[in-house]
């Protein structure tokens, strides 16, 4: 059996929740390997909706082991709040069903405060973050001053860890005109939650190695999308982690040879939340149609998403960067009823035609999409479970996407319902 890595091939919000839930039913272990509680999705199981931000999707299914890997920045208070919300819905998360990497870095209140200060600033630092402290926590991790999950198991080390952390943050806060933080405040913040976290702590790299050797099917659950990757995305309007498939190994401790099938979740059109370039954005009736019909609002923030036509240039680039073996194409039904549908097949930039998104921010803003126009369809695709249920023009649209991005469609989603999925190839049977 192959393991499966799920990544978003656009700017996130591609509909990973349904696909990951569909796959998690077939998996034995579900692993989060990057990001934090800034990445949310909704799962619908037996008619009940579960909104998850930090926890892996496997927690809502009995008999699955869920893991929060070392590549995740972990907010202990957000974790406690999310598990309590699930308990209210009848899902009890225990140390038998969930493990947290001992070497994951923590998100603290000072990280959230710094995130908000920067986003509220008029100095040009606004990125459009969720203000949940993700970026500042990753900065401390890279700066080798982070407090980590393992430190909660030995409270005696916390004063020294806090002193080292505040040696950076207090001068920074002074420079921003903010009050310094009393070390006792951070110590109280951590000691108040430590006992609830410690039972979940584990050497995740070893646990995953044991599961792999035992033949377990492992699902690596990515958050956000390739175009928000800190290296490969539309920098600086990106997240603070690597969102691509290669991070599944680094962020979990399981070697890259064990990653397996890479599934790229891909929306049948394009959306983006927050600031930054968006070549195919439609600030017109088409954009409003896609947003309203697709219910394009963020799971975590509730922010309205920007909408536009499918961009084959970007997805083709994501296929190459991630080594995507197959696509899970979602929300095809949102396009039902359009007279014509456009696909960006290239860009014009600096007087020439290019087939990639330039790395420079200015260039990303300047590119002009070259569109191919396809005939739309009046019949509905919603609820289709076989290729024969789809209108001929919808099939043509899907086939054209496959050709343009150089990757086959492995799964096709035609509604939010789990059963409304056309399976071409089971990634776990690769």
Active site residues: 13, 41
The residues pairing with 105 across neighbouring beta strands, listed in sequence order, are 73, 148
Contact 236, 25 (CB under 8 A): no
Residue 218 structure tokens: 């492992």
Place of tokens 């599961």: 211
Residue 394 structure tokens: 């919808």
> For the chain, how big is the Rg over CA atoms in Å?
22
- Measured in residues, the chain has a length of 430
Contact 18, 416 (CB under 8 A): yes
Neighbours of 325 (CB within 10 A): 21
Contact 143, 162 (CB under 8 A): no
> Of 95, 88, 135, which is closest to residue 116 (Cα–Cα)?
135
What is the distance between the alpha carbons of residues 388 and 412, in angstroms, rounded to a whole number? 13
> For the chain, how far is it from start to end, CA to CA, in angstroms?
7
> Of 414, 413, 412, 410, which is closest to residue 425 (Cα–Cα)?
410
Residue 89 structure tokens: 């819905």
Place of tokens 């299914």: 61
What is the distance between the alpha carbons of residues 274 and 301, in angstroms, rounded to a whole number? 10
Contact 191, 152 (CB under 8 A): no
> Of 112, 102, 43, 53, which is closest to residue 82 (Cα–Cα)?
53
């Amino acid at each position: 059996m192959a393991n499966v890595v799920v990544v978003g091939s656009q700017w996130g919000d591609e509909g990973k929740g349904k696909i990951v839930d569909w796959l998690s039913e077939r998996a034995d272990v579900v692993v989060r390997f990057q990001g934090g509680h800034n990445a949310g999705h909704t799962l619908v199981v037996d008619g009940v909706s579960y909104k998850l931000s930090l926890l892996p999707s496997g927690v809502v299914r009995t008999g699955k082991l869920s893991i929060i890997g070392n590549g995740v920045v972990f907010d202990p208070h957000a974790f406690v709040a999310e598990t309590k919300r699930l308990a209210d819905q009848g899902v009890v998360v225990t140390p038998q069903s969930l493990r947290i990497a001992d070497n994951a870095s923590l998100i603290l209140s000072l990280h959230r405060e710094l995130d908000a200060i920067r986003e509220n600033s008029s100095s040009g630092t606004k990125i459009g973050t969720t203000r949940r402290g993700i970026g500042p926590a990753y900065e401390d991790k890279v700066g080798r001053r982070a407090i980590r999950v393992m430190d909660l198991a030995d409270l005696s080390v916390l004063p020294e860890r806090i002193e080292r952390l505040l040696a950076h943050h207090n001068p920074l806060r002074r420079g921003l005109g903010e009050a310094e933080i009393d070390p006792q405040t951070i110590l109280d913040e951590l000691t108040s939650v430590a006992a609830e976290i410690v039972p979940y702590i584990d050497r995740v790299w070893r646990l995953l190695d044991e599961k792999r050797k035992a033949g377990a099917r492992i699902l690596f659950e990515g958050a956000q999308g390739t175009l928000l990757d800190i290296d490969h995305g539309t920098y600086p309007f990106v997240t603070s982690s690597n969102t691509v498939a290669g991070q599944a190994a680094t962020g979990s401790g399981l070697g890259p040879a064990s990653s397996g099938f890479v599934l790229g979740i891909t929306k049948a059109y394009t959306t983006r939340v927050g600031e930054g370039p968006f070549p195919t954005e439609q600030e017109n009736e088409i954009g409003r149609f896609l947003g309203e019909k697709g219910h394009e609002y963020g799971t975590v923030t509730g922010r309205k998403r920007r909408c536009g036509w499918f961009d084959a240039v970007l997805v083709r680039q994501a296929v190459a960067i991630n080594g995507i073996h197959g696509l899970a194409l979602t929300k095809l039904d949102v396009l039902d009823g359009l007279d014509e549908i456009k696909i960006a097949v290239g860009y014009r930039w600096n007087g020439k035609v290019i087939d990639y998104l330039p790395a420079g921010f200015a260039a990303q803003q300047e590119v002009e999409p070259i569109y191919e126009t396809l005939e739309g369809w009046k019949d509905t695709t919603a609820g289709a479970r076989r290729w024969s249920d789809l209108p001929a023009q919808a099939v043509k649209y899907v086939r054209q996407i496959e050709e343009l991005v150089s990757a086959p469609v492995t799964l096709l989603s035609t509604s939010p319902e789990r059963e409304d999925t056309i399976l071409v190839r089971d990634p776990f049977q690769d």
